[in-house]
Chain A
Amino acid sequence: DAKTTQPNSMESNEEEPVHLPCNHSTISGTDYIHWYRQLPSQGPEYVIHGLTSNVNNRMASLAIAEDRKSSTLILHRATLRDAAVYYCTAKAGKLIFGQGTTLQVKP
């Protein structure tokens, strides 16, 4: 299973974009990159996933490096409700979570 590395914590101001990085240098060619977030007292929530191309959905965008060894989750305009732990994972049959990034959003 690919190991992922993320910064422990990041801060952002409300209504500004946030770029959350993830390194997954041991990823294999068939591993999908998944991002989840977990708000306090809730289970993880799916955010986005991709394989090679950049992906957009209503929650976020995912930019995947050409060599697939890193990716960035982009929240276009952070809100206070986006404060959570964000997990980057590489999925190949089973989802193994790394340590995650705790995002603080300041008003």
Chain B
Amino acid sequence: DTEVTQTPKHLVMGMTNKKSLKCEQHMGHRAMYWYKQKAKKPPELMFVYSYEKLSINESVPSRFSPECPNSSLLNLHLHALQPEDSALYLCASSQVQGLQSPLHFGNGTRLTVT
């Protein structure tokens, strides 16, 4: 079990669907992250939120839309995805977006786009 909870664990969606991935943590962390991981590759950073504000967007296509409604929740809204977007989407949190703060990861949502 991890302290970062991601739902759903698995998601299959068509290219015309709209869906959302959810992430929740109750450790009082003020930085939250989205990563994308393809099979047998390292996680790739997508977005960073710090104190509920978007801090980093790693040039992610607009079909991925992050949202941080409060300090405990992080969403990733998906719209008009492509089959190549199929991957494991990982959420993480850290105390702050600082040099020392370790990241705590969830176990991810495995997304398949058909």
Question: Interface on A for B, CB 8 Å cutoff?
Answer: 30-32, 34, 36, 41-46, 49, 51, 87, 91-100
Asked if residues B45 and A32 are in contact (CB atoms below 8 Å), the reply is: no
State the CA gap A51–B98 with chains docked (Å).
13
Interchain Cβ contacts under 8 Å between A and B, 6 examples: A34-B103, A49-B100, A93-B99, A95-B45, A96-B45, A97-B42
Stretch among B68-76, B78-86, B104-112 lining the A interface: B104-112
Q: Contact at B99–A91, with CB atoms within 8 Å? A: yes
Contact in complex: B56, A97 (CB < 8 Å): no
State the B residues within 8 Å of A (CB). Answer: 2, 4, 33, 42-45, 48, 56, 90, 92, 97-100, 102-108
Chain B residues, Cβ within 8 Å of A93 = 56, 97-99
Say whether chain B's binding surface is mostly helix, strand, loop, or mixed.
loop
A34 nearest CB across to chain B (Å): 7
Known A94-B48, A94-B56; judge A44-B99 contact (CB<8 A).
no
In the assembled complex, the Cα of A92 lies from the Cα of B97 at a distance in Å of: 9
**A-chain residues with CB within 8 Å of residue B105 when the two chains form the complex:** 36, 43-45
| Residues from chain B with Cβ under 8 Å of A45 in the complex | 105
Which one, A34, A94, A97, A100, contacts B102 given CB within 8 A?
A: A34
Given A31-B99, A49-B102, do A94 and B45 touch, yes or no (CB 8 Å)? yes
The interface residues of chain B lying within 8 Å CB-to-CB of A99 are 42
Assess A43 versus B92: contact at CB under 8 Å? Given A93-B97, A97-B43, A99-B42.
yes
Are A46 and B99 also in contact (CB < 8 A) when A87-B42, A97-B43 are?
A: no
| CA gap between A97 and B37 in the complex, in Å | 11
Contacts of B90 in A (CB 8 A): 43-44
